[in-house]
Amino acid sequence: MMTGMLAMAQQVYELDMPVKEKTIYSGHLKLGGSNPSGERIEVNSYYMSVGGKPVIPVMGEFHYSRYPECQWEEEILKMKAGGVTVIPTYVFWSIHEEKEGVFNWEGNRNLRKFLSLCQKHNVWTVVRIGPFCHGEIRNGGLPDWLFAKPLEIRSNDANYLKYVKRLYEEIGRQLEGLYYKDGGTIIGTQIENEHQHSAAPWGITYPGEPKDMTSATYDANITMIGVSVQDKKITTADLGNLHMKTLKKMAEEAGIQTPLYTATGWGNAAVIGEEAIPVTAAYTYPFWAKPGMSPFCMFKDIQKNPDYAPVRYDTEKYPSFCAEMGVGIQMIYTRRPIVTAKAAEALMVRTLGSGANGIGYYMYHGGSTPKMGPTAFFSDEPMGMPKISYDFQAPLGEFGLEHGSYRALRLLHLFLNDFSSQLAPMETVLPKGYERMTPDNRETLRYAARVRGKSGFVFMVNFQDHDTARVDQKDLCLRLKFADETLRIPSQGTFTLPKDESLILPFNFQMEDALLKYATAQLLLKLDDRGTDHYFFFVPEGIQPEFVFDKTTVAGKYCYTPEAGLKSTFTVKTSGGKRFKVTTLTREQALNACKINGKLLITSSMVLPEAGRVRLLNMGDPVFRYVEYSSAKGFKEQMKEVPSVQPEYTFRKVGSRRLAVRFSGKEYPQVNDYFLRLDYTGDVAMAFLKGELVLDHFYYGAPWQISLKRFQQELTDEELSFYIRPLRKNAPFLSDLPGEAVPDFSKGSVVRVDSVQVVPQYVTTL
């Protein structure tokens, strides 16, 4: 039952498992392809496979043109260490063809170099070729000069397609030889974005006037702002679908040929028949909508009922691939919603449990939007964006620093990297009455399972966006009802799902030739421990780990209740004579765990994996602490210290709103970067160098941390100067901020700098 049944003070939640397995069929989609070694990528109606093995790709958006070319490789390594397997990236037309007929592929615009670096580190890529991209870029990426042309954009107008053809041919030349079919790592192409759903305002505008949107004139009345449910009737759907098919054909003719093609699927957007996967999105804290509890923390069958339905495609034909999961969000001047790590994790546990078989983040890595000139910006200013900052609260922010979501999401990525072949074919099973659940329900457990045969995982979420009144859910137990047995988790007693936590529990899980009936711990990763399988689990604080095996499949002990930590390892001997190990980490240890070259490393440092070595980064701390696991030495806690550095800098305040910082920027082998930490209270902070705006920051209560590496050469002779606009008591975004970030306005507007520090980011190599 959906509502818990009281039985001896227990909240019992049931799931009736399907008698007949889900039908998965193939051969109907015009997708897939092989590389020179014969490995093949294929897509069926439910999941993607590589070399015949099901896989759930982890896609993390990163825009090369928003980051310094000299730092691309370091950021790709951070993403790889975070468990990302695919990097999608936009090719912004306007940034490459700012002047009509003159294409620029140099410096931070060097698409080919970026994709080559991804290939060097064996990271797949998806190239989002537009022509319209959005991405909070001026005109959505359409060049300014296109506005002056007598043509109908985003349509099959021959004059428009003439310019698109030239763009695609230019992109095709940059991608030549890097495709999967050539032995490269470009596996996918996205065509257009949100066609017949959303658009951006043209940057050519006047204050106070209605926005002219970047859509075909015949689509003007259906064009929306942002991602949402389309509730208007689309009478030009045939034109939209034809345009998308035309663009795909043009891309292929330009040599852009990949196993996968994708197109926006949400909000009734135009699609490309059976030639592209319609991808989905979910934003729990959208800046374009009023704050309110979303449905995106509640389970459902996401293939049958995609988020932002209705959609324009037969959902049963395609796997559910999420391309824009909002684990962060961009801030605009009037709205500054904050996405926490718990919110990001809950969204993805819910989405995986609901049946998603591809997960993708927008954004996974933030950046800085380039400038058009000294006082002109590529940013989507009419939408109220920062002029430069595109931090997006992404797992990796504007300067490559972690937000809390980086490690929280890595828990899921490690699991998917090792176990997606088991999870991908599993169908979603929902409790009776799940569709009656409302976001404001705090009492009833939110749960679902994914199952194939009798094996599967239970997914649970005790989080809701825009709800601060949730509490621990106590005295829980699960009852999984199969045709020939009922499995109770736990077999005796109950468990608690703490407030804001999300959890995934395995049941009837095959480990070697032993069967784990259930565990009250979440599966993290698996190591090859010198020929022996070694499984790693973790538990949140307050949950007692219990592992119960089928008695007939193990020799001797069949139930284990270890205390989570590095001393929790136990060895199971199967009835067939095999052995495997199980270790249960605390959540904190799991957050610091990563799998590098098949080995386990636990550290609070940022990890950059490279061939034959690992680099560690520490902010402000010259002492690196880490645990390496090996079967010979077990969990060995180690420490490595580098010489500390005292950065040489000075600053001076000029009145209450202005500040200047001078920094020597001496280079040391143990320093990877220096970060200026500005702890301030205000509205907007702006940084200037040589009289030009180089960075900006919308205040939301957290300090502004700025990488100085990208300005190191100029800073030897120049000051970095700041202007901070005062924060007013009637600022429209105050309700978005945490209470402690809202100052006392009893004396009027507030502008204050509490501290200025330059902090070294230390580096060492293992």
The pLDDT confidence band at residue 9, using thresholds 50, 70 and 90, is: low
Q: Which amino acid is residue 734, in one-letter code?
A: L
The span from the CA of 129 to the CA of 171, in Å, is 8
- Is the pLDDT confidence value at 10 over 90? no
Instruction: Give the C-alpha separation, 464 to 500, whole Å.
Output: 8
pLDDT tens string 645-675: 999 999 999 999 999 999 988 999 999 999 9
Contacts of 730 (CB under 8 A, 6+ apart): none
End-to-end CA distance of the chain: 53
How many Cβ atoms from other residues are within 10 Å of residue 68's Cβ?
18
In the 8-state DSSP scheme, what is residue 218? G
348, containing H or E segment? helix 341-353
CB 276 within 8 A of CB 191: yes
> Quick one: angle between helices 158-175 and 237-253, nearest 10?
40
CATH number of 649-765: 2.60.120
* Contact (CB, 8 A) for 245 and 239: no
Q: What is the mean pLDDT of the segment spanning 424-440?
A: 97
Show the tokens assigned to 609: 């994996």
What is the average pLDDT across 211-238? 95
CA distances from 71 to 183, 604, 688, 707, 729 (A): 25, 22, 22, 11, 40
Predicted confidence (pLDDT) at residue 175 exceeds the cutoff of 70: yes
Domain ranges, ordered by start, for the chain = 5-18+430-599, 33-422, 649-765
pLDDT digits (tens, 9 = 90+) for 127-169: 999 999 999 999 999 999 999 999 999 999 999 999 999 999 9
Provide the pLDDT for residue 758. 98
Q: How far is CA 501 from CA 347, 355, 471, 574, in A?
A: 11, 20, 10, 33
651 and 662 Cβ atoms separated by less than 8 Å: yes
Contacts of 668 (CB under 8 A, 6+ apart): 643, 645, 760
In this prediction the pTM is 0.97
Residue 631, pLDDT > 90, answer no
**Spatial contact of 388 and 695, defined as CB atoms under 8 Å apart:** yes
Instruction: Determine the average pLDDT of the residues in 180-203.
Output: 98
pLDDT digits (tens, 9 = 90+) for 504-535: 999 999 999 999 999 999 999 999 999 999 99
* Beta carbons within 8 Å of 368's beta carbon, 6+ residues apart: 66, 67, 388, 389, 390, 398, 695
The pLDDT confidence band at residue 394, using thresholds 50, 70 and 90, is very high
Element (H, E) at 158: helix 158-175
Indicate if the pLDDT at residue 295 is higher than 90: yes
Amino acid present at 127: V
Q: Show Cβ contacts of residue 384 under 8 Å, excluding neighbours closer than 6 positions.
A: 332, 333, 334, 335
Could you tell me if 682 and 698 are in contact, meaning their C-beta atoms sit under 8 angstroms apart?
A: no
Average pLDDT over residues 327-356: 98
Closest CA to 214 of 288, 310, 262, 144: 144
Are 5-18+430-599 and 33-422 equal in CATH topology?
A: no
Q: Rounded to an integer, what distance in angstroms lies between the CA atom of residue 429 and that of residue 424?
A: 14
Long-range Cβ contacts of 116-123 (<8 Å, 24+ apart): 116/178, 117/72, 117/73, 117/76, 118/76, 118/87, 118/185, 119/178, 119/184, 119/185, 120/73, 121/73, 121/76, 121/77, 121/80, 122/185, 123/76, 123/79, 123/80, 123/84, 123/85, 123/86, 123/87, 123/185
Q: How far apart are CA 755 and CA 766, in angstroms?
A: 34
Q: What pLDDT is stored for residue 611 in this prediction?
A: 86
Q: What percent of the chain has pLDDT over 70?
A: 99
Q: Which residues, in sequence order, are CB contacts of 695 under 8 Å at separation 6+?
A: 368, 388, 389, 686, 687, 706
Residue the block writes with tokens 């199971």 = 572
464-501 CB burial, b ≥16 within 10 A, e <16: bbeeeeeeebeebbbebebeeeebebbeeebbbbbbbb
* Separation between Cα atoms, residue 402 and residue 394, nearest integer Å: 8
Quote the CA–CA distance of 537 and 714 in Å, as a whole number: 48
**Residues 586, 346: Cα–Cα separation, whole Å:** 19
Q: Does domain 5-18+430-599 have CATH number 3.40.50?
A: no
The domain 33-422 having CATH identifier 3.30.470.10: the answer here is no
Alpha carbon distance 582, 132 (integer Å): 49
* Distance of alpha carbon 186 from alpha carbon 116, whole angstroms: 10
The arithmetic mean of pLDDT across residues 606-618, rounded, is: 95
Nearest to 45 by CA among 277, 203, 306: 277
pLDDT at 716: 87
pLDDT tens digit sequence for 358-378: 999 999 999 999 999 888 999
Are 361 and 412 contacting, i.e. CB atoms less than 8 angstroms apart?
no
Nearest CA-CA partner of 720 in 654, 677, 660: 660
Residues 83-102 have pLDDT tens digits of 999 999 999 999 999 999 99
* Closest listed residue to residue 501, CA positions, set 481, 532, 471: 471
Confidence of residue 3 (pLDDT cuts 50, 70, 90): very low
Beta-carbon neighbour count of residue 637 at 10 Å? 10
Locus of tokens 């300014």: 144
Those residues with Cβ within 8 angstroms of residue 245's Cβ, 6 or more apart along the chain or in another chain: 272, 273, 275
The Cα–Cα gap between 43 and 62 comes to 24
Mean pLDDT of 615-638: 95
Contact 629, 598 (CB under 8 A): no
Residue from 343, 252, 328, 332 nearest 289 by CA = 332
- Are 419 and 527 within 8 A, CB to CB? no
**pLDDT 10s digits, 242-261:** 999 999 999 999 999 999 99
User: Going by DSSP bridges, is the β-strand pair 649-654/634-641 parallel, antiparallel, or unpaired?
Assistant: unpaired
How remote is the C-alpha of 662 from its chain's centroid?
36
Q: Which two tokens stand for residue 240?
A: 């939209």
Tokens of 757: 């520090």
Is residue 697's pLDDT more than 70?
Answer: yes
- 5: confidence class by pLDDT, cuts 50, 70, 90: very low
- Strand residues in 520-622 grouped as ranges (E): 522-529, 532-539, 547-549, 559-560, 570-573, 579-586, 593-596, 599-603, 606-610, 613-619
Angstrom distance (rounded) from CA 102 to CA 291: 43
